[in-house]
Structure 1
Amino acid sequence: MARVNELKRQLKPGQVYRREDLTPYSNAVDRHLAQLVRDGTLQKLAQGLYYFPKKTAFGTPPPNDETLVRSFLKDKRFLLTSPNSYNTLGVGTTQLYNKRVVYNLKRHEEVTLNGKTFFFHKTPYFPKKATPEFLLVDLVNNLDSLAEEREQILKNILAKAKTMNLAKLEHAVDEYGHSKTKKLFRPVLAEMKKTRHAQ
């Protein structure tokens, strides 16, 4: 019992832990984790992944996606986004997707964590934050996989691109665009440069 209490003392409300994070505090970590799950102290989210709930006046909220992904990857270098983010661009995308995309340096797989599906895409190229320029490029990268009216959306994308900051858009295209995406944006960027020089 003393070892279980020692393990409990290491836990912070609202945090997600991997099994190996807790092994230094237990001489029988699997047995102790099973015990803490049984008594409701911990929630098991996936194989080897546990959540210490933070109790509030409104009950026990689930871990937020950022905390979940950070613990799963054992890395804070990732970008968590969703196709729903494209709807903020105002280019005509309207679908809602129950899909979370994680650009990261380590994993390329589909994983269910706490009942949610995350699509991990391993790539060295992603920004710290999903800027409008990145989202526009990312939308073109992924347009074929979305349930949208492709031709009309593409027209809207090219019109939207012309209203954006040239340097930021050019950087996003160069850094994050697939080859087809770069080809699509090339004439638009050239036109934007020409217009800027003419002013």
Structure 2
Amino acid sequence: MPAILAGDSRRRRLLTAAITLLVTFKSVISFQYKVGDLDSWGVPPPSLPNLYASWVLNHHFHINDSLFFLYPPSKDSVVQVTEKAFNVCIVTDPILKMEDGNSIFKFTSPGTFYFTSGVASHCEKRQKLQIAVPDANGTFFQPAGAPAAAAAAAGGPAAYPLVFGPTPEGGSSASPRLRGVVGGGLAVAIATLCWLF
């Protein structure tokens, strides 16, 4: 009888370890996406006018994921703009401007994000990108009390919501990469301890 109970205890520990790993890895995995995949950030060719709109449909973004924009800095840039500026290609008052040629933007909060080239004529040629990032439980929403909505309702100038992430320091990769090695190592350590004790 004790051997059966020991087996049940071991199975419980293994199940606990597996659940701990799954929950922890889900929360620490993030990806970096090269915008346009094989194509760098630039004006879409005439044969693919909806390049960026199609690209977004093939990816699912989450908080802590990041975008990698690759472009020649002498000829282009990336700006994060409001929805209104995005729709009419106004690039003169961006929320954020990136112009180093290897720009990384990290999603630090849920919401809809609007990016375009810093060159207005490029934006007019559909070099722009709209991305919706859900909250942690997968819900898409616009906060009711967002500063831009409050300013618009009051008839005042639109205030930009502070939803953009800083450009992380260090190198960048042109393909999706797994992040959170420390968190993953911690999860493995916790799971191992649960299994042993």
User: TM-score, normalising length from structure 1?
Assistant: 0.22
Greater RCO (CA < 8 Å, at least 6 residues apart): 2
Q: Which has the higher helix share?
A: 1
